[in-house]
Structure 1
Amino acid sequence: MSRSTFDRELYELHNDILRMGSVVEKQIHECIEALIHHDVSLARNIINDDDIVDNMQREIEDKCIKLIAKEQPLATDLRRIFTTTKIVTDLERMADHAVDIAKIAIRLKNENFIKPVVDIPRMSDIVKEMIRESLDAYVESDVEKAYKVCEEDDKIDDIYKGVFNEMLPMMAKDNNTVNQATQFLFVCKYLERVADHVTNVCEWTIYMVTGEQKDLNE
């Protein structure tokens, strides 16, 4: 395989990653919409469409394997291909959490909310932006951007703690709020885990560029 052909196939991998990231971002957006608007049909679509992300993961991993088999990549190329396989795993797990939230939306379909749902959409908006920026950092091999994206994880943690501190006394005061408050906390936890997976993407990007393994999930 010529170098130009190899570079073109690497470029196609980048596009595949961006397409997968776009699907995951859409699922996260829609699972929150389903929750807020009691949209059971939308929630079920998210659950049913989970196979789309799973299939994208398998297809990208297969391309990576074939690319290695056809060419003896340089060390930097090998890190890029290896990083791609790691990133698609994190994207697939983000999509799994969107499915988790969609299931909660179905469970709460007939309930009046105990409080306005404000913090959860805020978390979702931050997470979606993190996904976009982390994948841009990967495609652009931008270590500085990868570090910057990880800083946003602190905002997610702060919102989660705020919701937890709000829900705890509410549950202690009124047992009737326990189930719904617990479900909201699960939603926040799933979004927090998505942000952790975004941080993983940034860690892999840093590894791809520098060869150094960083632990930014602190």
Structure 2
Amino acid sequence: MQSRDHHISHRYDQELEALRDDVLYMGSKVEEQIDNAVRALTEADEAIAEATIREDHAVNAMEVAADEKAVSLLARRTPAARDLRFVMTAIKTITDLERIGDEAEKIARMAQQLEGRQSLRRHQAISTMSEAVRNQTRQALDALAAMDADAALRIHQGDAKIDEMFEGIFRELLTYMMEDSRHISSTIDVLFVAKALERIGDHSKNITEYVIYMVHGKDVRHTDVNHLDLEDGEH
């Protein structure tokens, strides 16, 4: 009987680990999407843009497969406490990863459509913001892999910088359009790119919230994280 219970427990641990691997692999593919979308945009590379758009179908399929695996775990294993938090974290994370992929696809499509790519290539603010967003996404996924709540909190707090970058770009582009109405159409395209980057930042911030919830049992959504004490949470 003890051997059978041990076997069941081992199978359960394997299933949890397989779900974790699926989420992290999906995260790595989404990171590639962001990198390629930004490259397509800044280098005016039609082939990279097309490949990034095609890759979104694969990411969507990963979301469906991982979601089904998580739901199956909930139904068959009825996890509790930390295991339950992990499965819920996985379900929420794959949703945000899929949405990050959607935003990367939007950037790639914009790279195909955007006129005046030379001017965009010189738009240093977009390049700076894209680098910040890519770093934040990578760091959020690293915190998820390590289940590092302290790192997740630091990344969460740093998201305000990305919001500030977007606001700065918005003000700059608005001034540009007011000064010369001939550039309104192309400038709005650039603004759409900045908004897609800002949304990717929001989704990566969400992932850090799930990590904190997973480790400490604290829901920090709609919370002022600058005054958050993680030591009081559940372990």
TM-score (norm 2): 0.85
Aligned to 1:17: 23
CA contact (8 A) 1:123 1:191 kept: yes
CA contact (8 A) 1:146 1:203 kept: yes
**Residues 1:28 and 2:34 are matched in the alignment:** yes
Secondary structure of 1:144 counterpart: helix
**Residues 1:136 and 2:142 are matched in the alignment:** yes
Aligned to 1:145: 151
Aligned to 1:209: 215
Higher Rg: 2
Aligned to 1:75: 81
Could you tell me the percent identity over the aligned residues? 36
Secondary structure of 1:152 counterpart: helix
Whole-angstrom CA distance in 2 between matches of 1:110 and 1:168: 17
Aligned to 1:100: 106
Q: Bigger shift: 23-32 or 115-124? A: 115-124
Structure 1 residue 152, shift from structure 2 partner = 2.3
Where in structure 2 are the equivalents of 1:60-71 lying within 5 Å?
Answer: 60-71=66-77
Structure 1 residue 110, shift from structure 2 partner = 5.9
- Listed as ranges, the gaps of 5+ residues in structure 2 are 1-6, 225-235
CA RMSD of aligned residues (A): 1.9
Structure 1 residue 94, shift from structure 2 partner = 0.4
Aligned to 1:3: 9
CA shift digits 1:54-85 (9 cap, x unpaired): 00111111111222233231222111101101
- Listed as ranges, the gaps of 5+ residues in structure 1 are none
Aligned to 1:169: 175
**Residues 1:113 and 2:119 are matched in the alignment:** yes
Structure 1 residue 117, shift from structure 2 partner = 2.5
Q: Pick the aligned partner of 1:44 from 25, 50, 55.
A: 50
CA shift digits 1:76-133 (9 cap, x unpaired): 2111101101000000000000111111111115654267122222222222222222
Whole-angstrom CA distance in 2 between matches of 1:137 and 1:114: 32
Secondary structure of 1:2 counterpart: helix
Structure 1 residue 216, shift from structure 2 partner = 5.4
